[in-house]
């Protein structure tokens, strides 16, 4: 699959939709195959809509009769408006997806801004510290050196033991809207990870731990296999059925 291929969700039980049943009744599996090919083209369109004038060209390209395309409109799976045709179901799904991406983008910008402000505050604090040098006390130079050496050791020890960053509600919301974890129920995995940590005294729910946990969750097999289904197999099956019926009619 090309890295530039667009993604859209697809229900595994779409064949039981009343509109889909009506399409199979009027146009057979050829109509079903044509419908999914058209949905893919709509997904690639900029506004998820195509001009109605493109219908003859699409039918020519896919080698189907325009009556089959018309059956999709009659079933209610596609609609026409202002010289364009579209799938209301696809529009609704893409609206949800784009809202999630915008929410994730806003969260990322807010997080970057907080990090930038924190960095600026740290730099300013260090600059202020350098502008007011500490004067050593007379008569206690040796003791001062020992104290400074001791403090340096403590500071180095403190730096080597960084406080782990724990998972926050904002982190969970960000993972829920991330494309990388679309196949994961983040809240359920968080609950499972919490229960597992109860058996490990001393372990905490850090960001690094939970990200590793999410990365081990695999997508359901059905979700992986669904996009790979060849929509043209319905078209081929319909052709074979039509040829057999014509042969029997000639006998």
Instruction: Report pLDDT digits (tens) over 65-118.
Output: 999 999 999 999 999 999 999 999 899 888 887 788 777 878 888 888 888 887
pLDDT over threshold 90, residue 243: no
In a domain, 249, yes or no: no
- List Cβ neighbours of 125 (8 Å cut-off, separation of 6 or more): none
In a domain, 176, yes or no: no
Mean pLDDT of 139-163: 56
Residue 86, helix vs strand vs coil: strand
**What's the CATH code of the domain at 52?**
1.10.10
What confidence score (pLDDT) does residue 36 get?
92
Cβ proximity of 26 and 70 under 8 Å: no
In a domain, 139, yes or no: no
**Total domains in the fold of the chain:** 1
What confidence score (pLDDT) does residue 140 get?
52
In a domain, 115, yes or no: no
pLDDT over threshold 80, residue 163: no
In a domain, 204, yes or no: no
DSSP label of 81: E
Question: Is the Cα dihedral 93, 97, 102, 103 positive or negative?
Answer: positive
Minimal CA–CA distance to 210: which of 158, 160, 174, 161? 174
Round to whole Å and give the CA distance between 93 and 182: 13
Round to whole Å and give the CA distance between 113 and 107: 10
How buried is 128 (Cβ within 10 angstroms: 0-12 exposed, 13-18 middle, 19+ buried)? exposed
Helix axes 18-44, 232-250, angle to 10 degrees: 130
In a domain, 69, yes or no: yes
What confidence score (pLDDT) does residue 245 get?
79
Q: Which residue has the higher pLDDT, 59 or 133?
A: 59
In a domain, 23, yes or no: yes
Minimal CA–CA distance to 39: which of 78, 80, 81? 78
Residue 51, helix vs strand vs coil: strand
Length of the chain (residues): 251
Q: Which residue has the higher pLDDT, 225 or 180?
A: 180
In a domain, 57, yes or no: yes
Residue span of the structural domain in which 78 resides: 14-92
Minimal CA–CA distance to 111: which of 178, 38, 209? 178
Burial 62-89 (b: 16+ CB within 10 A, else e): bebeeebbbbbeebebbeeeeebbbbeb
pLDDT digits (tens, 9 = 90+) for 2-61: 444 555 566 666 788 899 899 999 999 998 999 999 999 999 988 899 999 999 999 999
Computed over every residue of the chain, the mean pLDDT equals 79
């Amino acid at each position: 699959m090309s890295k530039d291929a667009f993604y859209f969700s697809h229900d595994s039980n779409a064949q039981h939709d009343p509109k889909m049943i009506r399409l199979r009744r009027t146009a057979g599996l050829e109509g079903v195959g044509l419908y999914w090919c058209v949905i893919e083209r709509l997904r690639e369109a900029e506004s998820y809509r195509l001009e109605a004038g493109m219908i003859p060209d699409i039918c020519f390209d896919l080698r189907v009769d325009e009556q089959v395309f018309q059956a999709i409109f009659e079933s209610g799976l596609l609609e026409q408006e202002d010289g364009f045709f579209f799938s209301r179901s696809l529009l609704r799904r893409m609206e949800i997806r784009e809202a999630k991406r915008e929410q994730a983008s806003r969260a990322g910008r807010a997080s970057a801004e907080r990090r930038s402000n924190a960095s600026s505050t740290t730099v300013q604090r260090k600059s202020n510290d350098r502008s007011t040098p500490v004067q050593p006390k007379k008569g206690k130079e040796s003791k001062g050196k020992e104290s400074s050496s001791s403090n340096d050791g403590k500071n180095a020890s403190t730096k080597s033991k960084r406080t782990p960053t724990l998972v926050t509600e904002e982190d969970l919301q960000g993972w829920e809207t991330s494309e990388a974890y679309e196949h994961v129920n983040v809240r359920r995995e968080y609950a499972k990870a919490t229960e597992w940590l109860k058996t490990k005294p001393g372990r905490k729910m850090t960001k690094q731990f939970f990200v590793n946990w999410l990365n081990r969750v695999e997508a359901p097999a059905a979700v992986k296999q669904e996009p790979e289904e060849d929509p043209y197999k319905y078209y081929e099956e319909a052709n074979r059925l039509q040829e057999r019926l014509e042969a029997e009619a000639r006998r």
